[in-house]
Amino acid sequence: MIQQINQLEFDPHMIRLGTGELAPALLPAAELKEILYTSSAKIDSFGYQEPLGLKQLREQISQHLKKSGIEVSPAGILIVSGALQALQLIFFGLIAPDSHVFIERPSYLSSLKLFQSRQLHFSEVPLDQEGIDIHALRCLQKRRTHSILYTIPTFHNPTGCLMSPERRRDLLHLAQQLRLPIVEDNVYYDLWLDAPPPPPLKALDDAGNVLFIDSLSKSIGPGLRIGWIAGPEPIIEQLGDLKMQHDYGSSILSQWAAAEWFASGLHEVHMQQLRQKLRQRRELMLSVLKEHFSQLATWQRPHGGFYIWLKLNRSLSMPQLFKAARRENILLNPGNIYDSLASAELRLSYAFAEPEDLKTALIRLARVLQKLA
């Protein structure tokens, strides 16, 4: 099903109700073009770059991370071509093959084809309202060596869950006790809608136990292909060596544009405007859900990110639902791509479809669900 979704993502006839991407209208295209003009004059080399990436960009990111309480020097930051490449380098280069990977149930990682074909063992840990279930993690982890935890504590993909400050502290404490390294995926952090989220795990990580992944794709533009990993310098150096073996570094044009983006101060201005627009889209989706899905499903109000995790009142065949929706030109992200056992969940996204389409498609989807029930 993942492959079908990936292909249909490029079909202009489909209304994409679950796509994890900003709508074209939400991308700061004019500002980015401005940045390209100014940054092109600054580029001082079109040659190969040093392994960690453009120093000017790493300095900007180091400053940017300070705002959420993370202290990391440019030598502790590696520039990568988006968060997916960060995952690729960490899980298929850094950690031992046959390692045990703890993920949330459901998890974005489960939806990546790449992670299905390789020699890693996954254990799914339940989520509650406050984040990953610490007791379950402790029980599951007890007997494992070579293990690592992947988590999205802030505006979780696909559930939208925001990990509470207490849970963050407890998780770090447990991970330190168990000597369990954590990969923290922070890509939705800046997309808070109601109030700034609690500090990332990395900000509280005195033990150097957290590898931190972030990207510009969810908030500025995925076309730039700019992300970063922050962590202990020896590990970042090792990852930099792996990055060089993969593609000799990321585009220098994108790196300069990203550096200039942060240096110009445009980031804060854009995020403020973006939050406003995302809030409107969230409210629209919530109001349509309230009107048309109250008898069909339950959901939580998300405080940031892109997603609403819709829990249907009755289980049904996910492939059947997917096909029925597709016949109505609706592209869904069914829950079973994030959790193989899910049979009554859907990831909805208010970030991508245009408001009118979003409304039309949701109403149509409600009818499809009524028919299938």
**Interacting residue ranges for a copy of itself, rule: CB under 8 A:** 3, 6, 9-10, 21-22, 24, 27-29, 32-33, 36-37, 40-41, 43, 45-51, 81-82, 84-85, 88, 112-114, 217, 220-226, 241, 244-254, 257
Q: Least Å distance between CB 355 and a copy of itself?
A: 18
Angle at the Cα of 233 from the Cα atoms of 232 and 234, rounded to 5 degrees:
100
Q: Which amino acid is at 95?
A: I
Of 114 and 363, nearer to a copy of itself (C-beta) is 114
Q: Least Å distance between CB 267 and a copy of itself?
A: 14
| Whole-number Å distance between alpha carbons of 195 and 57 | 27
Q: Least Å distance between CB 54 and a copy of itself?
A: 9
Of 226 and 342, nearer to a copy of itself (C-beta) is 226
Residues in the chain: 373
Task: Give per-residue burial for 189-227: e unless 16+ CB within 10 Å, then b.
Answer: bbbbbeeebbbbbbbbbeeebbbbbbbbbbbbbbebbbb
Of 136 and 253, nearer to a copy of itself (C-beta) is 253
Of 167 and 281, nearer to a copy of itself (C-beta) is 281
Q: Least Å distance between CB 73 and a copy of itself?
A: 18
Q: Least Å distance between CB 63 and a copy of itself?
A: 22
| Whole-number Å distance between alpha carbons of 72 and 52 | 14
Of 13 and 113, nearer to a copy of itself (C-beta) is 113
The rounded Cα 264 to chain-centroid distance in angstroms is: 25
Provide the 8-state DSSP code for 90: I
| Whole-number Å distance between alpha carbons of 286 and 295 | 14
Q: Which amino acid is at 195?
A: A
Of 197 and 227, nearer to a copy of itself (C-beta) is 227
Q: Which amino acid is at 52?
A: L
Of 246 and 326, nearer to a copy of itself (C-beta) is 246
Q: Least Å distance between CB 104 and a copy of itself?
A: 21
Q: Are 183 and 143 in contact (CB under 8 A)?
A: no
Q: Least Å distance between CB 7 and a copy of itself?
A: 9
Pairing of strands 330-331, 147-151: unpaired
Of 158 and 249, nearer to a copy of itself (C-beta) is 249
Q: Least Å distance between CB 5 and a copy of itself?
A: 12
| Whole-number Å distance between alpha carbons of 81 and 373 | 43
Task: Give per-residue burial for 113-124: e unless 16+ CB within 10 Å, then b.
Answer: eebeeeebebbb
